[in-house]
Structure 1
Amino acid sequence: MSYAKVAIRYATSFLEASIEKNILDQAASDMEIILNAIDGSSLLRRFLENPVVKTDLKKSIINEIFRKHVSAETLKFIEFIVDKNRENALKEIAEKFLDLKDEHIGVARVDIKSAFELSIEQKKIIEQKFESLLNKKVVANYTVDENVIGGFVAKVKDTVYDASVSHQLELLRQQLLKGSLLLN
């Protein structure tokens, strides 16, 4: 189920409160902890989605799980979400909060796949290109994917930049096919 509208509303609210209280870095760190916990535990996900568990019990258990790992402000925010019966959207809220925080501080996260491990120099060049293209500071995550024949494939949110050899060959093939159609 998509909780996009709910996530935007709650994440925006918490982002604004975090900025106002000057705790944005701490709140972002807390949201990463929460997101990792939810991603890493199917039991926690099922617990959050279970409508049978009473609100007070959910708040108590969430408090027990997170109180040593997140700030009091973040814990109050989570309890507020539970009070509003939106705990099933907590994962999406945390993801949206981190996206909004990146946008607020001018950071773009770029996932880059290449056929082999790139050198530090190559990484630096790619990051500089994306910083000038996106006009934001780039935080890159590199992975090796042997399906990429050469070059790289980068993804920024929903946009894919395909600078791989296989993609270039496909474009060339399409141009040749189009050219042969024009000759007939």
Structure 2
Amino acid sequence: MNNGKISTRYARALLYSAKEKHSEDKVYIDICLLNKAFSDFPELKHAISSPTIADEDKIKLLTTAVGKNANADTLLFIKFIVQKKREDYMPFIALMYERLYHEEKHIVLSTVTTAVEIPKETANAITSYISKLRNATVELRTKTDSSIIGGFILDIEDNRMDASIKGQLSKLYKYAGH
């Protein structure tokens, strides 16, 4: 069985279990924190995959990543995954839970990348525009990347609109035959 199938099955089981207990929103918050920890600290993936680290320590690492206000269902799930020796799949399970949650709640995940931080009003206007465009709730994440020089890059699920100066210069360079 491959990573995708295993991760999807565990993520789906967590979502259904959380829905039965009406805690899917709280579990989602925990899973987002866990995904952020995996993204911010790549060493976490290596640590939980290491056979030299005890299961109790892996559980502590993962529960620390979700924070002290974590939902009981999330904590039980983490313990279950480690006890079943499936901790290698945890980053994939967490990503898949987010995706399944978004599908279930009709949420469109969008990211806007700008050279400088955008004002809250601008973020709200972008959220409103995408919400009308997709007829769905929008979860907008903002990123800053000074290398794009100016403009923005808007990712809406699997679609990208690159209106950055870096992107335009890259296209110009490409069309000039280089």
TM-score (norm 2): 0.74
- 1:182 maps to none
Cα deviation, residue 35, structure 1: 2.9
Tell me the secondary structure at the aligned position of residue 70 of structure 1. coil
Give the match for residue 29 of structure 2: 29
Alpha-carbon deviations, 1:91-134, whole Å to 9, x = none? 11112112221222222221112344444444333222211222
Q: Alpha-carbon deviations, 1:126-177, whole Å to 9, x = none?
A: 2222112222122222334444465421012332122346657849x96xx9
Over 6 Å off, 4+ runs: none
Q: CA deviation at 1:82?
A: 2.1
C-alpha change, 1:72 and 1:139, in structure 2 (3 Å) is: closer
1:27-73 CA-partner distances (Å, limit 9, x unpaired): 112223333444444554223212355xxx40x22444428453332
Q: Is the 8 A contact 1:28 1:97 kept in 2?
A: yes
Contact preservation (8 Å) 1:33, 1:69: no
Based on CA coordinates, which of the two structures has the bigger radius of gyration? 1
**3-state secondary structure, aligned to 2:163:** strand
- Could you tell me which runs of 5 or more consecutive residues in structure 1 were left unpaired when the two chains were aligned: 178-184
Contact residue 131 and residue 137 of structure 1 kept, 8 A: yes
- Tell me, in whole angstroms, the C-alpha distance in 2 between the residues paired with 1:30 and 1:50: 23
Greater Cα shift, 143-152 or 68-77 = 143-152
1:37-116 mapped onto 2 (5 Å cutoff): 37-51=37-51, 57-58=54-55, 60-65=56-61, 66=63, 68-116=68-116
Once residues 51 and 87 of structure 1 are traced to their aligned partners in structure 2, the CA distance between those partners, rounded to angstroms, is: 11
Return 5+ residue gaps in structure 2 as ranges.
Answer: none
Moved more, 120-129 or 160-169: 160-169
Q: For the residues of structure 1 that align with 2:122 and 2:110, how far apart are their CA atoms?
A: 15
Distance 1:139 1:133 in 2: 14
Q: Who is 1:11 aligned against?
A: 11
CA RMSD for the aligned pairs? 3.2
Query: What is the count of residue pairs matched by the alignment?
Result: 170
Cα distance change on mapping 1:112 and 1:38 into 2, 3 Å: closer
Percent sequence identity is 28
